[in-house]
Structure 1
Amino acid sequence: MSAADLLLVNTRIREGATLSTPTGILVRDGEIREIGDPRALRTAARAGTDALDLHGAVTTAGLVDGHLHPALGVEDTDGVNLTGCRTLEDVRAALARETGEWIVGWGLDPNCFGDRPVTNAPLADVFGDRPAVLRLFDAHSALLSEEALRRAGIDGPREFADRSAFACDETGRPTGLVLEFSALEVAYAPVPRQPFARRRERLRELLEAMAATGLTGGHVMDCNGDSLELYRSLDEAGELPLRLRIAPWCRPGDDSARRAELVARQGVGGRLWEVAGVKMFLDGTIDNSTAWLADPDCCGHSRDSAWRDPGAYSDAVRYFAARGIQTATHAIGDAAVAHALSTMATLSPGSMRRHRIEHIETIPDELIPLFARHDVVASMQPAHATEFTRADHSDNWSRRIGEERAGRGWRCRDLLDAGATLVLGSDWPVAPFDPRPILAAAQLRRAPGHPDAEPVGPAQALTAQQALHGYTAAPAAAIGDRRGGAVAVGMRADLTVWVDDPVGCGPDALAALPIRLTMTDGLLSFAE
């Protein structure tokens, strides 16, 4: 990282609908001190301040991913990457190259199984007698070999407070599929864990890669294990390139002592990271039948909340709200979103914090206006629609919920038009973290670079300006950050500099638009 005082010259500033003529930005002590004529700024700069000519590159507020899992993702992405596999033959080929005692993989797409259920039987030939654990792409489920089931002590059904489950056949024999976090903890208990030093190095490399795509910060939706020590170690060594806001989990079954612990954690942090907020789960995912839908999915599943008593979730939200703590609720199904909204409608206007709902994959018309009415932030990942579903509804997600509900998926534009604050993000490692293809997908409703692909829900497409707002001003507004999300005097110097205008270049070009530099807290975290 470079010195804290810097003069950026010959840059155009993109703020909303306005693109300025070339100008200068004086950065001092992590703050934007002045914007204007570079000659005047040179006079105002302190002796020794470096000047950097950006040759007409475009500066925006720093990009912030509204929902990601860096430290947890470093563990979840251990082993072979299966995200490129489209068939079971692809999966077999990838796993056949693994030679260690354990076969560990991640990113398995249930669409690889076609119309067949997700079980370990189709992969038994490649597993053999070795322990194997493959995390599915949604990060809420995993597929275990017979030997991995044995080592984890999984020999039949079991009840959990959060409705986690070991999928079993009609005889009660486990099929290998493990659903949701409590069950995943059992499944992964025997799996060798990476040492702290290795995870720290991988996290450093990950965050540097994120900075190279223009990211200056992220809203981290987990705080498990020793993740805070990882962030603390990087920050104290000056190796943390992103500003991170971290929300630990409150799970079904957590008692009053756990809630008090979560309150006590608030404000813990360092120069670029802070614990602020609480993450909660009302359901799981549609792909693994653990979402909470108003009517069952086409397999007769996804009928229940993750909380056996949804009222206990509401009590927990009110507990944190009364203490001025923002909650972020994972709610994918329409019933989950409806319950979260009805809970937030009961909160006192003086509860100090806006509350959030994460994902919001399928909702009916009547829920749309309630986000603005109750001042609830909508946090969404538009690339999930373009990465994992198809316009013809032939994918696993769409087949499970049916035509009508699939047709009202990822309603980004409707929420925005209704006055909601819309925050965009990746949910990495569920989907790639690079914000540029996500910004493009939000506009195209298809994967960028594939003009022949039919868009998924094209009426929900955002404009380029709206999409950029979802990665800049909206994340700041969502957390009440008055010094972020804009390029203006007095704001923090969290900046993304593009070689061209991200609003005017066109979405397919945007997906690969080079980043000139990334600045976090006045320090260069990336420069080409």
Structure 2
Amino acid sequence: MTYADQVVLACRVHPMAPDAGVAEAVAVRGDRIEAVGSRAQARAWIGPGTTVTDHGSGVITPGLVDAHSHPVLGLRMTAGADLTGVTSPDELRSALATAAAATPSGAWIQAWGLKPDAWPAPGPHRSWLDAIVGDRPALVRFFDGHAVVASTRALELAGTAGLADVLGPGLVGRDAQGLTGVVREPAGLAHLDAVIAPADVADEAARLHALLAAMAATGLTTVHALDLEGDALAVLAAAEARGRLPVRLLLSPWCGPDLDVDGWRALVDLQRRSGERWAVRGVKLFLDGTIDHGTAWLSRPDRWGQSDVSLWPDRERYAAALAFFDRHGVATATHAIGDASVGCALDVIGDLRRAGSTLVHRIEHIETAPDHLLPRFAEVGAAACMQPTHCTRYVAADGSDNWSARLPEHQARQAWRTRDLRDLGAIVALGSDWPIAHYDPRQVMADAQERRPAELPDAAPVGPEQRLTARMALEGYTTHAAAADGLAAELGVLAPGARADLTVFAADPLELPPGELLTCPVLATYVGGVPTHRHADLPH
């Protein structure tokens, strides 16, 4: 071979390619991998113009891929006060009062990341929020991004009362006194967001660049953003104008049940849009919402009599949409949390497979699923894209959390069945769903192995039989994440011809105890052979 542009060395290299052993060196030409081998073999790759970087005792893996995140939409979702650490009504009252005092008169008071358990009994209501913020517009987003509580003034400005009958009681909360202030799901949230002054595109671009740099520092090289809404394209263009994006972005715009065939065609046309490190890829559809807010689609209603209908009321139209996108070569990702929605998605994807489809269609979340559905993932070739930290960070082993309290016991026991799906031969891609949970892949991989917060060794695990091995967890961020996007030859593997995306750990993630993986330094991150992160202790 001709000399490489650069050679990256380490104590150990995990190519993650089929039948590939452990190596010590990676040769790069341009933005592609040219060879993987030993240090001895690497001597022949090095010429006068070759850049050589030796990471010493470090361990190289394929660049990590977050299969499900929201780095662009999340900029809006994380506006205002951070409530992720709030655990009680007193803490919530204090945090909202502080946010109100810090918000200029006339501006919307915003907060995000709230767990349902932190709101005082009998449950979320605008009257409690009004007592804190007065006659001011305020919006408090729950942690899952699928519901908010709006103040009375916010509802007035948005004209929510006039939309309640159109959107339905499931999306706009009502009680005997009128609107409760609770608004749910994209169809309900969009009209509230529409009356909030949009953020400056340049400011959003700066925030996006900073966020992606922080993601690169955790070892991420590619993030699949399951959204492309609002001014996202303008933000991406402005972010690229600031310099190369620190990670690759794949973006999937939403397809709602209100779109007609012309709308579907517009989404197909969007697939041509791309930049140097971002590209539109795929389409996302929502069959249901969340268990925490009663908008999931379960085979039987939850204990509150909710979560028994689909957000896509016409099953045949959902099937027609997937068939349309499949014919145009566009893979889909279906948000399906409840067992009924998972079953519906599998049925439709199975019909496509039997009709000759070769695309990998994804099913997102799969929070509860019975035994009979699990083998069908491998049978129909559907990829399961799952977020272990939704389980470990928001669900308690004793069932005292809101999610568990809503579900019949047998369904709560069928939670996030990552190991069962892997053992049955399914593709199981892992992700964070940031800002719902933290984007750090080390946390997701560690929790996936423990089924509890990995930094809490005394915490009881949730469904310990669903623990993944260290290799399975790493595959979830490499080979399986790439396969879920139909990019198995491009990403998630260190092999000739693949993109030169590398993550360099200070120690071996396949050998570290999960608790130590959480804090294992990432020495460097490479995207297309270009370092996007170097540890502070390394020379530049």
Whole-Å separation in 2 of the counterparts to 1:472 and 1:507: 18
Deviations, residues 392-424 of structure 1 (Å, cap 9, x unaligned): 111001111121111111011111111110000
Whole-Å separation in 1 of the counterparts to 2:10 and 2:163: 64
SS state at 1:230 partner: helix
Alpha carbons 1:162, 1:308 under 8 Å: kept = no
Question: Are residues 79 and 359 of structure 1, via their aligned partners in 2, closer, same or farther at CA, if it must alter by over 3 Å?
Answer: same
After superposition, residues 328-347 of structure 1 pair within 5 angstroms as: 328-347=333-352
- 281, 284, 287: which is aligned to 1:279? 284
Question: Are residues 137 and 201 of structure 1, via their aligned partners in 2, closer, same or farther at CA, if it must alter by over 3 Å?
Answer: same
Residue equivalent to 2:9: 9
Question: Are residues 469 and 86 of structure 1, via their aligned partners in 2, closer, same or farther at CA, if it must alter by over 3 Å?
Answer: same
Code of the residue aligned with 1:88 in structure 2: it is: P
Code of the residue aligned with 1:279 in structure 2: it is: K
Question: Are residues 49 and 163 of structure 1, via their aligned partners in 2, closer, same or farther at CA, if it must alter by over 3 Å?
Answer: farther
- Displacement, 1:359? 0.3
Residue equivalent to 1:85: 86
Residue equivalent to 2:146: 140
After superposition, residues 193-272 of structure 1 pair within 5 angstroms as: 193-235=198-240, 237-272=242-277
Residue equivalent to 2:408: 402
Residue equivalent to 2:381: 375
Alpha carbons 1:22, 1:56 under 8 Å: kept = no
TM-score of the superposed pair, with normalisation by structure 2: 0.93
SS state at 1:351 partner: coil
Is 32-41 or 225-234 further displaced after alignment?
Answer: 32-41
After superposition, residues 157-168 of structure 1 pair within 5 angstroms as: 158-160=164-166, 165-168=171-174
Whole-Å separation in 2 of the counterparts to 1:115 and 1:73: 29
Code of the residue aligned with 2:337 in structure 1: it is: I
After superposition, residues 354-503 of structure 1 pair within 5 angstroms as: 354-481=360-487, 482-503=489-510
Alpha carbons 1:164, 1:181 under 8 Å: kept = no
Whole-Å separation in 1 of the counterparts to 2:169 and 2:209: 34
- Displacement, 1:351? 2.2
- Displacement, 1:120? 2.5
Alpha carbons 2:482, 2:491 under 8 Å: kept = yes
Whole-Å separation in 2 of the counterparts to 1:411 and 1:21: 30
Alpha carbons 2:10, 2:60 under 8 Å: kept = no
Whole-Å separation in 2 of the counterparts to 1:471 and 1:68: 13
Alpha carbons 1:10, 1:56 under 8 Å: kept = yes
Deviations, residues 150-192 of structure 1 (Å, cap 9, x unaligned): 2112236624579862101034x11111111121111222222
Residue equivalent to 1:190: 195
Alpha carbons 1:358, 1:378 under 8 Å: kept = yes
SS state at 1:476 partner: helix
Alpha carbons 2:92, 2:119 under 8 Å: kept = no
- Displacement, 1:296? 0.4
Deviations, residues 41-89 of structure 1 (Å, cap 9, x unaligned): 3553353332212112000011100001111001110110001101111
Whole-Å separation in 1 of the counterparts to 2:316 and 2:303: 27
Code of the residue aligned with 1:402 in structure 2: it is: P
- Displacement, 1:312? 1.2
SS state at 1:245 partner: strand
SS state at 1:135 partner: strand
Whole-Å separation in 2 of the counterparts to 1:39 and 1:23: 9
- Displacement, 1:475? 1.2
Whole-Å separation in 2 of the counterparts to 1:202 and 1:236: 13
SS state at 2:407 partner: helix
Is 378-387 or 25-34 further displaced after alignment?
Answer: 25-34
Code of the residue aligned with 2:506 in structure 1: it is: V
- Determine if the alignment matches structure 1 residue 518 to structure 2 residue 525: yes
Code of the residue aligned with 1:280 in structure 2: it is: L
Whole-Å separation in 2 of the counterparts to 1:445 and 1:84: 20
Alpha carbons 1:232, 1:269 under 8 Å: kept = no
Alpha carbons 1:437, 1:511 under 8 Å: kept = yes
Alpha carbons 1:383, 1:441 under 8 Å: kept = yes
SS state at 2:209 partner: helix
Whole-Å separation in 2 of the counterparts to 1:496 and 1:472: 11
Is 162-171 or 384-393 further displaced after alignment?
Answer: 162-171
Code of the residue aligned with 1:426 in structure 2: it is: S
SS state at 2:322 partner: helix
Name the Cα RMSD after superposition.
2.0
Question: Are residues 457 and 21 of structure 1, via their aligned partners in 2, closer, same or farther at CA, if it must alter by over 3 Å?
Answer: closer
Deviations, residues 473-500 of structure 1 (Å, cap 9, x unaligned): 0011112211221122322111100000
TM-score of the superposed pair, with normalisation by structure 1: 0.95
Alpha carbons 1:31, 1:492 under 8 Å: kept = yes
Unmatched runs of 5 consecutive residues or more in structure 2: 536-540
Whole-Å separation in 2 of the counterparts to 1:282 and 1:276: 20
Question: Are residues 363 and 36 of structure 1, via their aligned partners in 2, closer, same or farther at CA, if it must alter by over 3 Å?
Answer: closer
SS state at 2:161 partner: coil
Alpha carbons 1:13, 1:19 under 8 Å: kept = no
Code of the residue aligned with 2:374 in structure 1: it is: I
Whole-Å separation in 1 of the counterparts to 2:476 and 2:457: 24
- 119, 125, 130: which is aligned to 2:125? 119
Whole-Å separation in 2 of the counterparts to 1:39 and 1:412: 40
- Displacement, 1:28? 1.8
Alpha carbons 2:15, 2:495 under 8 Å: kept = no
Alpha carbons 2:202, 2:238 under 8 Å: kept = no
- Displacement, 1:209? 0.3
Code of the residue aligned with 1:525 in structure 2: it is: T
Question: Are residues 326 and 227 of structure 1, via their aligned partners in 2, closer, same or farther at CA, if it must alter by over 3 Å?
Answer: same
Alpha carbons 1:356, 1:379 under 8 Å: kept = yes
Aligned pair count reads 524
Alpha carbons 1:214, 1:515 under 8 Å: kept = yes
Whole-Å separation in 2 of the counterparts to 1:115 and 1:161: 26
Alpha carbons 1:156, 1:168 under 8 Å: kept = no
SS state at 1:284 partner: coil
Residue equivalent to 2:538: none
Residue equivalent to 2:328: 323
Is 309-318 or 54-63 further displaced after alignment?
Answer: 309-318
Whole-Å separation in 2 of the counterparts to 1:492 and 1:163: 49
- 488, 511, 516: which is aligned to 1:509? 516
Whole-Å separation in 1 of the counterparts to 2:226 and 2:513: 31
4+ residue stretches of structure 1 with deviation over 6 A?
A: 17-22, 161-164
Whole-Å separation in 1 of the counterparts to 2:124 and 2:135: 19
Is 403-412 or 180-189 further displaced after alignment?
Answer: 180-189
- Displacement, 1:148? 1.1
Question: Are residues 87 and 181 of structure 1, via their aligned partners in 2, closer, same or farther at CA, if it must alter by over 3 Å?
Answer: same
Alpha carbons 2:15, 2:23 under 8 Å: kept = no
Code of the residue aligned with 1:281 in structure 2: it is: F
Is 218-227 or 345-354 further displaced after alignment?
Answer: 345-354
Alpha carbons 1:163, 1:308 under 8 Å: kept = no
